[in-house]
């Protein structure tokens, strides 16, 4: 299983034990009360991270018990093209590399996907760190707040996407950095981030 933080693993193990005991997933409020979180927002944050790492499904639906655990061994893996690297900081040219990366099938949505390696620290507040692999769904549009891979002046960057009255802001998740402000004609979206893999030592890559 992909590496989880201590708290993420605790939440995951609680959900797994609850499902084994009760036959259904715990509600958001049951998770909140078990861990002493002050609000449901804290629960949602942890569940989003678990979903990004491919160990649970359906964390954002409104049903009370919509969580589902992912069986990685049964779900299988898929090889994606590895493009490298994308800047979580200043824009950086994306160059194709002769390699692939294996990811769990459960992490993918419908459509075409690829992987990018992150360089920089501008998305750290969203849990995207230098050296992480991003799983990206190829598409040319995005909704406000989605994390996108955007091409600006021929160079790629990963940022949160927001429309404004003057055009578009590509916002970092780092209070020390400023957003990139562009008009609709000055950039293009190359995909939306749908997952993240963190490498703690062993290489993910094949050639």
> For residue range 139-193, what is the model confidence (pLDDT) as tens digits?
999 999 999 999 888 788 899 999 998 899 999 999 999 999 999 889 999 999 9
Catalytically annotated residue among 53, 75, 159, 188: 159
Domains, the chain, in order of start with CATH, read 6-70 (1.10.10.10), 77-206 (2.10.109.10)
Catalytic residue status for 45: no
pLDDT at residue 96, as a whole number: 52
Centroid of chain to Cα 63 = 22
pLDDT at residue 65, as a whole number: 53
For 73-102, how does the pLDDT look when each residue is reduced to its tens digit (9 = 90+)? 555 678 888 877 776 555 445 555 557 888
What value does the mean pLDDT of the chain take?
A: 79
Residue 64 has pLDDT above 60, yes or no: no
Q: How far apart are CA 121 and CA 100, in angstroms?
A: 24
Catalytically annotated residue among 122, 137, 203, 207: 122
Catalytic residue status for 178: no
CB 174 within 8 A of CB 123: yes
pLDDT at residue 47, as a whole number: 86
What are the counts of helices (DSSP H) followed by strands (DSSP E) for the chain?
4, 12
Angle value at C-alpha 126, between 120 and 132, nearest 5 degrees: 45
Sign of the C-alpha dihedral computed for residues 121, 160, 99 and 129 taken in this order: positive
């Amino acid at each position: 299983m992909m590496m989880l933080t201590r708290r993420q693993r605790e939440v995951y193990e609680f959900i797994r034990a609850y499902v084994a005991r009760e036959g259904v997933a715990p509600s958001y409020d049951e998770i909140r009360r078990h861990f002493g979180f002050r609000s449901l927002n804290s629960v949602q944050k942890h569940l989003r991270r678990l979903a990004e790492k491919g160990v649970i499904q359906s964390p954002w639906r409104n049903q009370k018990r919509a969580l589902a655990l992912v069986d990685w061994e049964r779900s299988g893996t898929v090889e994606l093209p590895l493009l490298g690297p994308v800047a979580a900081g200043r824009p950086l040219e994306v160059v194709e590399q002769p390699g692939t990366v294996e990811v769990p099938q459960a992490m993918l949505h419908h459509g075409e996907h690829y992987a990018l390696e992150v360089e920089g620290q501008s998305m750290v507040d969203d849990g995207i760190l230098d050296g992480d692999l991003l799983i990206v769904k190829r598409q040319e549009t995005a909704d406000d707040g989605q994390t996108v891979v955007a091409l600006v002046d021929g160079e790629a960057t990963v940022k949160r996407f927001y429309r404004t009255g003057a055009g578009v802001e590509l916002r970092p998740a780092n209070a020390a950095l400023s957003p990139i402000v562009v008009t609709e004609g000055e950039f293009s979206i190359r995909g939306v981030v749908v997952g993240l893999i963190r490498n703690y030592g062993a290489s993910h890559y094949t050639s």
